[in-house]
Structure 1
Amino acid sequence: MPNRKSIMKFIHTADLHLDREFEGLVQETPFQPYRILEKIIDLAISEAVEVVLFAGDNFHQSQPSIKIQNYFIEQLTRLQPYGIQAVIIFGNHDYYRESVYWIDFPEHVTVFKSETVTTQKLTLKTGERLAVSGFSYQHPHLSVNKVEDYPEKDGSCDYHIGLFHGEFSGQSFAPATLTDMLAKDYHYWALGHIHLANQVADNVIYPGTPQGRNKKETTNLVVLGEMTPTGNLIYFRDLAEVHFETLSIDLSACQTLVQALTFIKSNLVDTATFYSLNLENYETIADHLQEAVDNDELLEELRQSHVIVKLKLMPLSSETDELTKIVVPDLRLPALDLEQVYSLLPHKQEIRAVFEDADFQDEVQENLALFASQHFEFGGTLDEN
């Protein structure tokens, strides 16, 4: 049996989507979402961790640009002088194909490239041994339970971690069960794919995406963990430069437009927050406020000093009564016919390959749904998540 003689510190992150921009913005911002990786590497160095675990979807595209590939390697290389290792798997967005990469991974970086579950054994700077089991997607979808293929805990190593990108429901992304995971008796399961943080069990964790890209991604965390002889200590760290926030602002005390503008601005306290604003109880100034919202004057004024994703007037109480008497139309956009779109483009093999990519198709439909939710809401009483 190995002798666990010290604390093994690690960072677990997932779903960086380095080449994905902020969504829903129409104004420029100095923030660059990919720079979250620099903060993760900074934390790894300052905390003197042994290993950084990347649980898939490091990139948003299945063929990331040369520039973003080099940026990834540059940041990973910063770990090497400190004896910190990195372990990487690829997810459904950045499913691995060697042919699209222009980079070599440094020696201190362990990369799982196969869709077959394998185990890699690392010697840490403490001299202890770490076993990591995992796999990478080589296709945008996986319908099989991959956890069944993970081996039992390796008793010859001091620690054993499962690195996994997938879900506990559905059929398309390596559907798994918590029972199967716990049966392996690993010290820790580092999960990816779900963009909201979720501690499924004490040692089975989704950290969520470390930098949210839209108003639905509200938990922007990484895991800073310590494995001790008596168990794990888990700390969640928020390193995000930018956060999305939805504010409901009650204007019932505002008797004039001047008071309303002053009060709204007083609620915008952080220039690193991207706000979605719901204005409520504005009866006294309803007519002029409605006009300023309809012609975007108020929106443009607020955008002088803050990032405003969306500005919305919630229905007044009298309007709510009236709304119950009408039928709310279905404002969902119809599914996009990609075959029809393709017929209008040059018939090249490369374009056909893109349009047949299931991941591309899913992303187009998701973006359409997001556009519809942000621009065609009716009544304002539905949950905006």
Structure 2
Amino acid sequence: MRPTVRFIHTADLHLDRPFKGIQRVSPSIYEAIKNSTFIALERLINLAIDEQVDFVLFVGDIFDQVYPSLYAEVRFKQLLHKLSEKEITSYISFGNHDYNQTIKQHFSDIEHCHVFSRQKVTSFYYQRNQEPLVRIHGFSYEERAVKENMATEFKYADHVPYHIGMLHGSAGGYEEHAPYAPFQLQQLKDAGFDYWALGHIHKRLTLSENPFVVYPGNIQGGSKKETGEKGCYIVELTDTTTTLTFHPLQVLKFVNVDIAVDEMTSFSQLYSILLENIPESQEKTLYTITLKNVTANLFQGDAYTDIEDIINVFNEGQINREDWSYIIDIKLNVHAEKNKTVNDPFLKTLGENINTDLLNESKGSLWRHQRARHFLDELTTEEEIEIEEEALAVVKAILVGEEINENN
């Protein structure tokens, strides 16, 4: 009968993440955002110690950049030392964001710390009572874009009680992130391992339960695309069962909220609407608001300046709170049915020419800017379509707004 093993599975810490696209924040709130990944990591280390786990698996993208700050390097190693002092072993691999790290820095001074240093699958043994109990297989990226299927290199090699695979890569059918180290789920299931610890996808996904093949997501959301709770799993392997327990670690949450404003006649009403729809927060929260069913008559005057003013007023009221609710963006969803359809050649031509090519031309100079591009997330196809549709709806609303008002 195999003895019980308990460990933490974490990935995608992204220390030093710049939190792209977040604007309108006060210095104190910016500091809270900037430090959030480090605090989330401290929570993870304290959890490992409190729960007395056997080891911690760090599955790639420890750092957000290939050249992390000295602060990030030192803080990470300090926390590894803290684990080591409690005789908790750490196993570390690096991913596409922080590839080639073992050339740039060294971990040999940290006891009970094992680093996968090559872009080739190797393994370490976790021992108990001087006997091998778990064989942990993994690899680190030596280049940013690993295109080959690394899953074929994972081999069940001996009769150690447990085998675990650490793989930072993209599962077939889940290509929302760059398709690095791509693999097919069946390849992992056929390997004969007891658990697959994945990284790279920033959301929790369990691809299989026999054996468990798991993405834990990242430990701290980094943009409005990464909403909800973020954290790690404590995994318990026994002779007959595998149990996963999720532990939230995030310091702040990203939340997307839709608010219907069918009856709103002026943006001067928006402040009270926001107060009604954004609850008193029990934790630091960054909101992206989508105003649904915005009508054409709201576009008289400088509507976007009005919205900006309302955001500033709301956010100023949050600065001195311990647990704040901060608005980072308000998007408009224009109600198509309440915007009079205009069938004239100009609007038809306009709709045909607001397309991806025009969007790419408009954004090109900004994304190519040497400094600005480091603070921008590349737009997804869905976001580009959304921008095109909103732009056309807003233009139509402005052009026909007076006519709608006159018919009321």
If the TM-score is normalised by the length of the shorter chain, which range does it land in? Answer: 0.7 to 0.9
* TM-score, normalization by structure 1: 0.81
Asked if 1:91 corresponds to 2:58, the answer is no
Shift of 1:244: 1.0
1:311 aligned residue (327, 330, 333): 330
Relative to 1, partners in 2 of residues 1:379 and 1:187: Cα closer, same or farther, differing over 3 Å? same
Does residue 166 in structure 1 map to residue 169 in structure 2? Answer: yes
Secondary structure of the 1:43 match is helix
CA 1:337/1:233 → structure 2, altered by over 3 Å: closer, same or farther?
A: same
User: Using the alignment, how far apart are the partners of 1:158 and 1:320 within structure 2?
Assistant: 67
Is this contact kept in 1: 2:296–2:339, CA < 8 A?
no
Q: Does 1:62 align with 2:66?
A: yes
Matches within 5 A, 1:1-385: 3-5=1-3, 7-26=4-23, 27-28=25-26, 29=29, 30-31=32-33, 32-35=35-38, 36-101=40-105, 104-124=108-128, 129-152=133-156, 154-155=158-159, 157-169=160-172, 173-202=180-209, 203-218=212-227, 220-252=230-262, 260-269=270-279, 270=281, 272-281=284-293, 286=298, 291=303, 293-294=305-306, 296-304=308-316, 305=318, 306-320=325-339, 322=341, 326=348, 327=351, 329-330=354-355, 332-334=359-361, 367-369=377-379, 373=383, 377-380=387-390
* Alignment partners' CA distance in 1, 2:105 and 2:234: 29
TM-score normalized with structure 2 length: 0.77
Q: 2:403: which partner in 1?
A: none
The CA distance in 2 between the partners of 1:260 and 1:341, in whole Å, is: 35
The separation in 2 between residues aligned to 1:139 and 1:367, in whole angstroms, is: 21
> Structure 1 residues 264-273 or 278-287, which shifts more?
278-287
CA offset digits 1:161-217 (Å, max 9, x no partner): 001111124795111111111111111000011112211111100111111101111
Cα 1:336–1:373, aligned 2, differ >3 Å: closer, same or farther?
same
1:195/1:126 Cα in 2 relative to 1: closer, same or farther (>3 Å)?
farther
Deviations 1:201-251 (A, max 9, x none): 111001111111011112523111111111200122221111111111123
Report the CA distance between 1:263 and its aligned residue: 2.8
CA distance in 1, matches of 2:270, 2:101: 55
CA distance in 1, matches of 2:124, 2:339: 60
* Shift in CA distance, 134/266, structure 1 to aligned 2, threshold 3 Å: same
Which residue pairs with 1:356 in the alignment?
A: none
* Contact preservation (8 Å) 1:210, 1:240: yes
Q: After alignment, is 288-297 or 308-317 more displaced?
A: 288-297
Displacement of 1:258: 6.8
Residue 296 of structure 1, CA deviation? 1.6
8 Å CA contact 1:254–1:284 kept in 2: the answer is no
Deviation at residue 255 of structure 1 after TM alignment: 7.2
For 1:176 and 1:19, how far apart are their aligned partners in 2?
A: 28
Distance of 1:275 and 1:112 partners within structure 2: 38
1:82, distance to aligned residue in structure 2 (A): 2.3
Q: Letter of the aligned partner of 1:4 in structure 2?
A: R
1:248-295 CA-to-partner distances (Å, cap 9, x unmatched) read 112346677676422311322226111011123465983679736546
Q: Distance in 1 between matches of 2:369 and 2:223?
A: 27
Please tell me the residue identity of whatever aligns with 1:272: K
Give unmatched runs, 5+ long, in structure 1. Answer: 346-362
Distance 1:307 1:212 in 2: 15
CA distance in 1 between counterparts of 2:299 and 2:376 reads 35
User: Following TM superposition, by how much is the alpha carbon of 1:4 offset from its aligned partner in structure 2, in angstroms?
Assistant: 1.6
Structure (1/2) with the larger helix percentage? 2
How far 1:300 sits from its partner (Å)? 0.9
State the distance in 1 between where 2:359 and 2:265 align: 37
Q: CA RMSD in A?
A: 3.5
The separation in 2 between residues aligned to 1:250 and 1:16, in whole angstroms, is 36
Give identity over the alignment, percent.
28
Local SS of the residue matching 1:332: helix
Letter matched to residue 173 of structure 1: Y
Distance in 2, Cα, partners of 1:320 & 1:189: 52
CA distance in 2, matches of 1:126, 1:40: 27
- Deviation at residue 364 of structure 1 after TM alignment: 6.0
Mean Cα deviation higher: 34-43 or 50-59: 34-43
Question: Within 2, Cα distance between the matches of 1:381 and 1:4?
Answer: 61
Structure 2 letter corresponding to 1:333:
N
Q: Which amino acid aligns with 2:84?
A: Q
Number of residue pairs matched by the alignment: 357
Q: Structure 1 residues 316, 290: CA separation in 2 closer, same or farther (over 3 Å shift)?
A: farther
- One-letter amino acid of the structure 2 residue matched with residue 141 of structure 1: A
- Separation of aligned partners in 2, 1:173 and 1:365: 22
